[in-house]
Structure 1
Amino acid sequence: MLKTKLAAAVLVALSIGPSAAFAQGMSGQNAPAQQDTAQSANTSADQTKARKLETITVTGSLIPQTDIETATPITTITAEDMKVRGFTTVAEALQQSSFATGSVQGASTSGSFTQGAQTLSMFGLPVGFVKYLIDGRPMGDFPGLYNGSDTFNNLSGIPMEMVDHIDVLPGGQSSLYGSDAIAGVINIVLKKHVDGPSVDARYGWHTGGGGADRRISFSDGFSAGKFNMLVGAQFESTQPIWAADRGLTRQYFTQGTSAPVASRDFLVYSPFSGHYYFEDPNNCGNVTGLFGGTEGQQTRSGGRTYCGSFYTPGYATVSNDKKTANVYTHATFDVSDNLQLYGDLLYNYDEQKYSIGSNFTWWGTGVDFGAYYDPRLDDFVDLQKAFAPEETGGFKSIMNKQYEKSYMLTLGGKGTFGESNWDYDLGFTHSDDKLLEHNFQRFAGPIDNYFIQHVLGPQQGMDPYYNAYPQFTPDYAAFYQPISQADFKSFTGYTDTNAKTWDNMLRGQLTNASLFTLPGGDAGLAVVLEGGNQGWSYVPDPRLLDGEVWGTTDVQGAGHRSRYAATSELRMPFFSMLTLDVSGRWDNYKVAGGNVHHGTYNLGLEFRPLESLLLRGRYGTAFKAPTLSDEFQGLSGFYSFVPDYLNCGRLGHGPGDIANCPTPYDSTQYFGQQAGNTALQPITAKVWSYGAVWAPTSKLSFSVDYLHWDISNEVNTESADLLSQTEYLCDIGTLDAASATCANAFGQITRGTSTTPGLLGQIQQIYTPKVNVSNEQVNAVTASVNYVQDIGSWGRLSFATSYSDVLKHTTQAYPNDPTIDVLRHPAAYPNGTDFKSKVNGSLTWAPNEQWSGTLYFNRYGKTPNYMASVVDNYTDPGTGKLGAWILYNASVTYNPTKNLGLSFLVNNLFNKMPPLDRSYPGTSSQPYNDSNYNVYGRAMYLEANYKFGAK
């Protein structure tokens, strides 16, 4: 087989950095001891063109093979890549990959549901559409829910120093890896061997302040006869970065569409007219010591006066205080030539703290009463009070805390049946993740009683106009006063929410890499059977469920299910130029007495017309089983508005004439309820890709691939609008009133008693559970270049770059809704602000074995500015796109001896802040999209690694 140039180029690419390389170390599902062992089987010049590589197992295939490039494009990030490019965590290395174009929430997203977790979005697809593997085994889910509803994986608990390499496979991979593998697969391969004891220590800091980082790790391996073991541990502590540490976030925006506007920390206003009442006889004189002495009398447009500060944004964190401890062990025991027992344990303890700032630490009458009536003002008004650090005892003392304990344990055995070509691997994996959310809260009874006693005074009946709002005559002078820390503590404290996920999997695989011979080589077969169960529970503090916590609620949920799957792959090299890979899988989930099942397949074709050229293509299907949270999340409520199509129809106004339907039927307020649904079906996708790899020399390679996703049955809450329309169609006879569709609509809409002849009672409640209803399409292109050049006595230069571009992204929330072109609708949630393109690359110069230096860049493409994302177009005045965000990292490594390595790394070399977006108003505390950008700025790290006994 004439594959010399491609094979050599790919091996060179693997040696220099993350690239669209095609040989990978760990099997996506195989035993942990298999390594990247690709090497020449024959090194003589006369046999170069006939050279075959020793068989390896690649991520993206279950079958060991001689080809290190396949139909599936793969990017490999090695441990050395992560170090020299300045990545400080596994999450950062993956989030900076060119595939991660989607906006995601994280530590910078203040007030989000999972501020203590890290994840990514491949090509703008949902974060749960990526299958994460650790040594080829599925990674356990994080117990918290992304955006309050979606199950996902947390990348923040993986010890970077224990990672050997990471394989990233874009595109659907469910025919091998099952559920979740729609956007792609990420396989994190941990180390299986070290030469001897080693210690690595790193200290880092940010030149702008905050974020000091200390990390130390230790690893060692030893053997005793047939027993081998590797042990590693990593400890890390990182200080938070506060918004006050950065000029862009320490105060309200000074370069926007309006002058900066101070926060409304002491406010009396009418929620109906918007009028401000300034009732402080001391003109804020009693509160000027708050917020570091920046509190004072402020005025907004129209002469509206209040007490506030320009510097309240600085009291939130933009990165978390974090402490982690990880322990990893890998052990093998050679029972015989045909059997090896193995075991792996990865344990993680993670403790994080963060502050959501004064914007989320406040009290107001609007939450309790909507408004109150003040007879002296003869108006309906509200009070609003933000708590200052001088009152709380400092925001550092009331930070939210998250404690996570997780582990993943695998025990198994693998080997060969006698002298045959049949290999086997039988393993059991258990993962467990426990989460405690220790969050700061205001307690409803105590905080309301405090302000009633000190400010509002006793209630004086109801308002004289509507008899609907309570009447108070407040002591406004007492309102414009600081409160003591003791009083603040009297109505605040912490709640504890406990969550857990667990997963058991027994997996057996049979593999024959030489099942039979074809003209192009040996055909291979792999068959996998697996089964297990999994569970999720989310148990909020009871006070979050019964109204004891002021301004905050939560939703409980719990459930479990069993599952099994069968997978098969057949790889057939029909000719030296043509190879076909066929795989199929059947998954079944038993949920609440029912079964959810789905089958997937994939056809992969590899064509090599030249020894330097590979043409490849794939076509298949992928799926995502309903998540446990989608199936078992508890009941929650909300208020909204919906047209009453049935009553409007009876009044002569059809769906196209709702604007003329009389009040209240044109827009009726209702109480909505939503919950999980155990009858959900899988999300399905048709996926295909095609591309090429060209290696004109053994030191230079190019690759380009085009990928397509057509996704159906995505989960969304049922549309109240569509339910109301269905009820109308059932009423007029377009739909059979006795049908299941009509019975469903009638059952989910609750109406009051009719008071008007010929009309039904007003809509009071609508139940909108999660259903399979949404669709999505994505087209993307990826490309890479890898090049190595010897420069004689000057050493060697290595260059690698990777590029991704989303060419099309459309979504449809409900069947009758229009299809939204996300790339042209910047307000489309949550993808309208995604990066369309990303490109990164590195240049490494190694003049000798002692010295090396690397310059790394990452170019984030254009995104909509704030105004465009508000008005949903690029044509209104002030709309547009922000320029590319380009960051540079640099590192220098010096090895004075074979035992000692010293490194100096600088991240964000030029201290680049997010692109300046002048379309934000002066009320903005973070004038940038915190799901895309951060204000961390330049960071520097000193690192030392010592290997005991190295020679």
Structure 2
Amino acid sequence: MIKSKLSMAVVAALAFGATSVYAQDAQTAASSTQQQDQNGNQAPSAKNAKKLEAVTVTGSLIPQTQIETATPVITITADQMKARGFTSVAQALQQASFATGSVQGMQDTNSFTTTAETLSMFGLPVGFVKYLVDGRPMGSFPGLYNGSDTFNSISGIPMDLVDHVDILPGGQSSLYGSDAIAGVINIVLKKHVDAPTIDVRYGWYGDGGGASRRISFADSFTLGKWTSLVGAQFESTQPIWRRDRSLTSTYNTHGTSPETASRDYLVLTAYSNDGTKPGYQFMDPNNCANVSSQWGGTETKQHRTPQGDYCGSFYTPGAGTLTLDSKQVNAYTHNTFDINDNVQLYGDLLYNYSEKKFTNGSSTTWWGTSVATTQGAGYFWDPTVHGGSLMLLQHGFAPEEVGGYRNIMSKEYENSYMLTLGARGTFGQSNWDYDLGFTHSDDKLIDRSFQRLAGPMEAYFSKHVLGPQLGTYSGYPVFEPNYAAMYNPVSPTDFKGFTGYSTSHAKTWDNMLRGQVTNSSLFALPGGDAGVAVVLEGGNQGWDSTPDPRLMQNTTVDYGNGFTYSTPYYWGTSATPGAGHRSRYAATTEFKLPLLQQLTMDVSGRYDSYKVGSGTVSHGTYMIGLEYRPFDSLLLRGRYGTAFKVPTLSDEFQRPSNYYNSVTDYLNCGRLGFSGANIAKCPSLYESVQFKGTTMGNPALKPITATVWTYGVVWAPVERMSVSVDYLHWNISNEVNQMSADGLSNDEYLCDIGTIAPTSETCKVAFSLIQRGPGRTQNGIALLGNISGITTPKVNVSREQVNAINAHFDYGMEIGAYGKLVWAASYSDLLKHSYQDYPQDAPIDLLRHPGWSTDFKSKANASLTWMKDKWSTTLYVNRYGRTPNYLASHLDNYTDKGTGRLGAWTLWNASVTYNPMKNLGISLQVSNLFNKMPPVDNSYPGTTWGPYNSDNYNPYGRAFYLEANYKFGNGSGS
């Protein structure tokens, strides 16, 4: 099996050398692999000569001769990524079979981390994956995922400077410490190139937008005992706008309700003295003629049943972006200096700078009377309408008013680096090796978000529409607006006068001093030499999020006649302030024990301790692994142990933070008879309620803990073929959980109708965390007051269990004069995923409760590569399994009418490479070969755009990439 796996690795390297002009023979490739450690570093020459057969792989600290061990390891090379049509390391990992979970990304333009990229391994939280660069922990992204969680972004990894990526599914804390609950991803950068190399790539999308340009350069050189690699990559990408895709350019045309235009000019009655039903009031004597030129001439008089008339357009969704406007520069260098045969100094530096822009379009670029009247949920009292009525006004800004949405995009600037300095070698002529290194990572983020200035904006509309305040009525401000003036465009100059940008700063940093001693021949056992590795680590880390001070301030709006109100300086925008640091230390020990020729045991243990303020957060973990080889071509393996995740710095040190969002008031909608498929018909007062949310950190949080185990089989029945199947299990406790506002609102409704027992802990929590105003009666129906606030705290109470299967297949074969073929395939399937909010509540089966999870249950991919002489070509297919439709997710069942699952989504990629000369490779890559759009989800209402789950799917379509790789000189290096 070992020989087969080595042969397979060599054939795969040859197969996927899409831009590698020079190929090593099997002996050279195997030797090169064996002489590098898990970080890709060349070991001192004396050590190489002594231990040519051993290699330190990701997943073990001890050099060994076996490629497959008790720990399942998936390896993806940079050339494989390109040949399979991937444009970045992030994309390759996100589309891997193990990445089954839904995650926010660049389509979520109203999230906290639009410019970051991450993944969910087997549906577990994004922060449960430990990311390494050359075996060293990657620094955290300064922004918080979903405004709450610290995580790693993989968007800044330069693909052209990556050698390969190792993925270890399953808990790995006994070797790698905190965060390694779901698994470990180790990104190994290049350490040597054969000759100065330049790579140029240009890409575009068949349906428009997203044009990209990338150029990279790398070179290695040797000066006496000094060796160095230097490389750089630059990439720029234009955005894809929603208007570029028919699926996202307009509101849903085949939903559960008719396609409904945006409410760009809206006057709404909520309650009237004469008993008039709530609804839209059309107050424009010109029937929208004054604004008909907006949205490219599509702004017209519209109607929603049963609410009424207004001015709007079907094309407002098109103003947002689907992908980023991005510019990114990476620089990297790897250096070694051999002091003598036993001592080598090393130093690495990886640098990343990026500028990224995006916009949410008109969805968050509008004015409404809720700017300064949030105590009335945006409503004011007009005594002249229907004998007195609660009224609401709203105006969404058109591109013609803002001067083009391209000119008001939010911007983020990231500046990060990772520096490592160290020494490694052998203690004399002994079997003891050492590695002592220091790593510092630093990541700074500047956020320039487009904002609406509440004071100037309200002053403008008070002058032109509302007029001075005349008093109050039952707590609501009283106005007599000039309604006809509502239906007039705002000039770009006036718009610029009440908008602007906030500037926020965030940063993370991490220092780690790490020492390791290893002896792979400690003493003899019946199966061979026992090995040991001991690691000591110490360091500190910090996080600081400093929002623009105006995001935390209020401003006073003067409505005349002595009436003033306090409102946030920037309207409708939240911030997550916080700062903290902590020191830590850890000790790790691993033993490799070949008990018999066929049986090897691997035992590891680790103790981590973090000093937080005046206290400590500590946890120990262990792992026991067994490898049994009844014969050469078969390996049976299993692991059992524990894993943990220390509370993140944001969990501990986030200051009380307010945020603004909208939520459906399911309880009041339900009492009025609107739920399920007809929720869109719920009166606007309850359909979309703006609320003020509050969350904060908790220094008393405990570590998240987990029991983890895997067992599996690796079989190599014939040369160059390998099949592996592994079963993985996680049992996670003490999980930190921030409540979902939508989930709390829905729970409140389910408690109100008795679906959930009102005395349950779930109901008690929902009732206590939702703040409401005074109640009222409408048409004889008792309603609760408007939702004014929702508190979403962090607590250490949740539990989670996951069972999954992960399988892989590789096979390479010679076909004589026709060249070579290489097959590869992988498959992952979630067999169980349960989640428990509180100990008193029953666990929720996430595979059967679509309201809790929209993850893929299964994912599979396969590739076929053919190569002959100067040609190679790869066909790659990726199948995403079924997911719940919107209505099933909304109603949390598959039994109501209209609920169900969406069909599988299958994407094909292809590439072809031609080497017209020894030093030049030219390739064409096509992603989404058949231009497959997401499975259309017709259970969305017509009031939404993009009838698909943007955390699972994208409508980017077919993309083309032309790439040329040229190596200078004769390829022997310099």
TM-score of the two chains, using structure 1 as the length reference: 0.88
- Indicate the residue corresponding to 1:785 in structure 2: 809
Letter in 1 for 2:472: M
| CA distance in 2 between partners of 1:530 and 1:845 (Å) | 46
Match of residue 901, structure 1, among 897, 915, 921: 921
Alignment pair present for 1:833 and 2:854: yes
SS in 2 for 1:298: strand
- Quick one: structure 1 residues 671 and 281, their matched pair in 2 at CA, closer, same or farther if it must change by over 3 Å? closer
- Indicate the residue corresponding to 1:340 in structure 2: 344
- Indicate the residue corresponding to 1:164 in structure 2: 163
Match of residue 379, structure 1, among 389, 392, 397: 389
| CA distance in 1 between partners of 2:771 and 2:700 (Å) | 22
- Quick one: structure 1 residues 713 and 15, their matched pair in 2 at CA, closer, same or farther if it must change by over 3 Å? farther
CA contact (8 A) 1:31 1:414 kept: no
Quote the offset at 1:28 in angstroms: 12
- Indicate the residue corresponding to 2:696 in structure 1: 675
- Quick one: structure 1 residues 16 and 271, their matched pair in 2 at CA, closer, same or farther if it must change by over 3 Å? farther
| CA distance in 2 between partners of 1:847 and 1:750 (Å) | 69
Match runs of 1:527-926 below 5 Å: 527-546=534-553, 547-637=568-658, 673-717=694-738, 769-828=793-852, 832-848=853-869, 850-926=870-946
Quote the offset at 1:498 in angstroms: 0.2
- Indicate the residue corresponding to 1:279 in structure 2: 283
Match runs of 1:368-407 below 5 Å: 368-369=372-373, 370-377=378-385, 378-407=388-417
Please list the CA deviations of residues 52-109 of structure 1 after superposition, one character each: whole Å capped at 9, or x if unmatched. Answer: 9710010000000111110011110001101111110110010011000000001012
- Indicate the residue corresponding to 1:414 in structure 2: 424
Over the aligned positions, Cα root-mean-square deviation in angstroms equals 2.9
Please list the CA deviations of residues 758-815 of structure 1 after superposition, one character each: whole Å capped at 9, or x if unmatched. Answer: xxxxx99998753211000000001111111211100011100000001100000111
SS in 2 for 1:852: strand
SS in 1 for 2:80: helix
Match runs of 1:149-548 below 5 Å: 149-272=148-271, 274-302=278-306, 304-369=308-373, 370-377=378-385, 378-463=388-473, 466=474, 468-546=475-553, 547-548=568-569
SS in 2 for 1:366: helix
SS in 2 for 1:291: helix
| CA distance in 2 between partners of 1:91 and 1:384 (Å) | 40
Match of residue 928, structure 1, among 920, 944, 948: 948
| CA distance in 1 between partners of 2:181 and 2:35 (Å) | 19
Moved more, 22-31 or 674-683: 22-31
SS in 1 for 2:168: strand
Please list the CA deviations of residues 685-736 of structure 1 after superposition, one character each: whole Å capped at 9, or x if unmatched. Answer: 00000000000111211110000000000012489999xxxxxxxxxxxxxx
Alignment pair present for 1:102 and 2:85: no
SS in 1 for 2:407: helix
| CA distance in 1 between partners of 2:341 and 2:96 (Å) | 41
Moved more, 788-797 or 297-306: 297-306
CA contact (8 A) 1:26 1:58 kept: no
Quote the offset at 1:610 in angstroms: 1.1
- Quick one: structure 1 residues 29 and 819, their matched pair in 2 at CA, closer, same or farther if it must change by over 3 Å? farther
- Indicate the residue corresponding to 1:740 in structure 2: none
SS in 2 for 1:489: helix
Match runs of 1:64-75 below 5 Å: 64-75=63-74
CA contact (8 A) 1:27 1:59 kept: no
| CA distance in 1 between partners of 2:43 and 2:929 (Å) | 35
| CA distance in 2 between partners of 1:180 and 1:28 (Å) | 26
Alignment pair present for 1:948 and 2:935: no
Unaligned runs of 5+ in 1: 43-51, 642-668, 723-746, 753-762
| CA distance in 2 between partners of 1:674 and 1:73 (Å) | 39
SS in 1 for 2:847: helix
CA contact (8 A) 1:584 1:599 kept: yes
Please list the CA deviations of residues 589-623 of structure 1 after superposition, one character each: whole Å capped at 9, or x if unmatched. Answer: 00011100000000000000011000000000000
CA contact (8 A) 2:107 2:322 kept: yes
- Indicate the residue corresponding to 1:144 in structure 2: 143
Letter in 2 for 1:825: H
Quote the offset at 1:918 in angstroms: 1.4
CA contact (8 A) 2:37 2:56 kept: no
Letter in 1 for 2:317: P
| CA distance in 2 between partners of 1:460 and 1:23 (Å) | 86
- Quick one: structure 1 residues 940 and 35, their matched pair in 2 at CA, closer, same or farther if it must change by over 3 Å? farther
- Quick one: structure 1 residues 146 and 673, their matched pair in 2 at CA, closer, same or farther if it must change by over 3 Å? closer
Please list the CA deviations of residues 890-946 of structure 1 after superposition, one character each: whole Å capped at 9, or x if unmatched. Answer: 100000111100001111000000001111111111110000000100000110000
| CA distance in 2 between partners of 1:213 and 1:767 (Å) | 42
CA contact (8 A) 2:44 2:338 kept: no
CA contact (8 A) 1:17 1:800 kept: no
| CA distance in 2 between partners of 1:164 and 1:429 (Å) | 20
Quote the offset at 1:33 in angstroms: 1.1
Letter in 1 for 2:322: V
Count how many residue pairs are aligned between Structure 1 and Structure 2: 869
Unaligned runs of 5+ in 2: 18-29, 272-276, 554-567, 664-689, 745-767, 774-786
SS in 1 for 2:650: helix
| CA distance in 1 between partners of 2:772 and 2:33 (Å) | 61
CA contact (8 A) 1:150 1:629 kept: yes
| CA distance in 2 between partners of 1:229 and 1:288 (Å) | 64
| CA distance in 2 between partners of 1:71 and 1:213 (Å) | 42
Letter in 2 for 1:873: N
- Quick one: structure 1 residues 670 and 304, their matched pair in 2 at CA, closer, same or farther if it must change by over 3 Å? closer
SS in 2 for 1:696: coil
CA contact (8 A) 1:25 1:35 kept: no
SS in 2 for 1:286: helix
Letter in 2 for 1:784: H
Moved more, 158-167 or 267-276: 267-276
Quote the offset at 1:553 in angstroms: 2.4
Please list the CA deviations of residues 245-287 of structure 1 after superposition, one character each: whole Å capped at 9, or x if unmatched. Answer: 0010111111222221000000000245531110001010100
| CA distance in 1 between partners of 2:63 and 2:720 (Å) | 25
Quote the offset at 1:14 in angstroms: 6.2
Letter in 2 for 1:313: P
Letter in 1 for 2:970: A
SS in 2 for 1:448: helix
Identity level (%): 65
- Quick one: structure 1 residues 9 and 29, their matched pair in 2 at CA, closer, same or farther if it must change by over 3 Å? closer
| CA distance in 2 between partners of 1:446 and 1:29 (Å) | 61
| CA distance in 1 between partners of 2:790 and 2:893 (Å) | 33
Quote the offset at 1:847 in angstroms: 2.1
CA contact (8 A) 1:326 1:346 kept: yes
CA contact (8 A) 1:213 1:237 kept: yes
